[in-house]
């Protein structure tokens, strides 16, 4: 990966949008960590379910890698690269370029009723309605052709919004569990890992600053920290 901030070429890359493109990180993950694995490989394995989520930068909502969501995109999650999903989930703006997911609105099959019924509701929360607006636009070729994904922490640093979105896209009160598991479960343990940075740097001691990359990263940290403070309790209550 490119790390030096003293290289003129790297400074130009930052001004162009990102220090590291997908091939600087995603390709390495694909070759050395996941060995070309797709979500089909995850679906075949035994063990706990694995959830990965990123942020839809344009609509500013969480983007979980769920099969029903990809069916809304007229795509197939089972064929999607695990490395790209992981790269998207940690693509901090400026340091990493967004990961691009393409929609295929010209080759759509009819959605099942529970997905077709997703819409903005007057009684719905702002978060759920924002997600409903985003998913509705994914099938409109005049509005969305490519979805740009960045660090999932920008919208939900704890990752618990996948529970909310699962209920929305699956259309059941027990999602992401199956009906059978939902009636059998007695206790639910949610482990939250807070990766927020908190205040850092010494520029509060000086009139000048922050500037450049420090300013961009501080803005990203502010977004992550603010989302983390608001995400946990409303989502798991």
Instruction: Convert the pLDDT of each residue in 79-109 to its tens digit.
Output: 999 999 999 998 887 778 889 999 998 888 8
- What is the per-residue pLDDT for 235? 45
Rounded Cα gap, residues 150 and 162, in angstroms = 16
Cα dist from 141 to 56, 106, 136, whole Å: 17, 8, 11
- What is the per-residue pLDDT for 32? 92
- What is the per-residue pLDDT for 86? 94
User: What are 54's two structure tokens?
Assistant: 């990123």
Cβ proximity of 38 and 26 under 8 Å: no
116 pLDDT band, cuts 50/70/90, is confident
DSSP alpha helices (H): ranges in the chain? 8-15, 22-28, 39-44, 67-72, 82-89, 113-116, 126-137, 153-156, 161-170, 179-184, 212-236
Residue keyed to tokens 């983007």: 63
Identify the three-state secondary structure at position 154: helix
Span 158-164, mean pLDDT? 74
What angle, 0 to 180 degrees and rounded to 10, lies between the N-to-C axes of helices 126-137 and 161-170? 60
19 pLDDT band, cuts 50/70/90, is low
Span 3-10, mean pLDDT? 66
DSSP string, 171-186: --TTTTS-HHHHHH--
- What is the per-residue pLDDT for 212? 67
Span 218-225, mean pLDDT? 74
| C-alpha dihedral, 11 to 12 to 18 to 22, nearest 10° | -110
Cα dist from 15 to 93, 141, 149, 223, whole Å: 12, 29, 19, 21
Instruction: Convert the pLDDT of each residue in 169-183 to its tens digit.
Output: 677 778 878 888 888
Q: What is the mean pLDDT of the chain?
A: 80
Which of 7-11, 55-59, 175-179 is predicted most confidently? 55-59
Q: Which of 112, 129, 111, 117 is nearest to 74 (CA)?
A: 111
Between residues 16 and 65, the one the model is more confident about: 65
Rounded Cα gap, residues 127 and 58, in angstroms = 15
Is the pLDDT at 55 greater than 90, yes or no?
yes
Instruction: Convert the pLDDT of each residue in 224-235 to its tens digit.
Output: 777 666 655 544
Span 104-127, mean pLDDT? 78
Cβ proximity of 101 and 204 under 8 Å: no
Span 193-201, mean pLDDT? 69
């Amino acid at each position: 990966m490119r790390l030096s901030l003293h290289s003129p070429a790297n400074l130009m890359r930052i001004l162009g949008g990102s220090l590291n493109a997908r091939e600087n990180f995603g390709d390495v993950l694909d070759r050395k960590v996941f060995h070309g694995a797709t979500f089909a490989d995850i679906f075949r394995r035994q063990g706990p379910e694995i959830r990965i989520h990123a942020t839809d930068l344009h609509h500013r909502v969480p983007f979980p890698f769920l099969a029903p969501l990809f069916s809304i995109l007229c795509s197939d999650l089972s064929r999607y690269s695990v490395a790209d999903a992981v790269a998207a989930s940690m693509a901090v703006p400026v340091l990493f370029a967004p990961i691009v997911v393409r929609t295929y609105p010209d080759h759509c099959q009819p959605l099942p009723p529970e997905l077709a019924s997703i819409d903005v509701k007057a009684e719905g929360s702002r978060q759920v309605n924002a997600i409903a607006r985003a998913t509705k636009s994914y099938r409109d070729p005049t509005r969305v052709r490519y979805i740009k994904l960045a660090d999932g922490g920008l919208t939900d640093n704890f990752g618990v919004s996948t529970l909310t979105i699962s209920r929305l896209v699956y259309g059941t009160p027990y999602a992401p569990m199956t009906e059978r598991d939902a009636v059998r479960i007695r206790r639910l343990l949610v482990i939250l890992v807070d990766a927020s940075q908190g205040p850092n740097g010494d520029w509060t001691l000086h009139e000048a600053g922050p500037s450049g990359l420090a300013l961009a990263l501080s803005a990203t940290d502010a977004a992550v920290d603010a989302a983390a403070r608001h995400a946990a309790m409303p989502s798991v209550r």
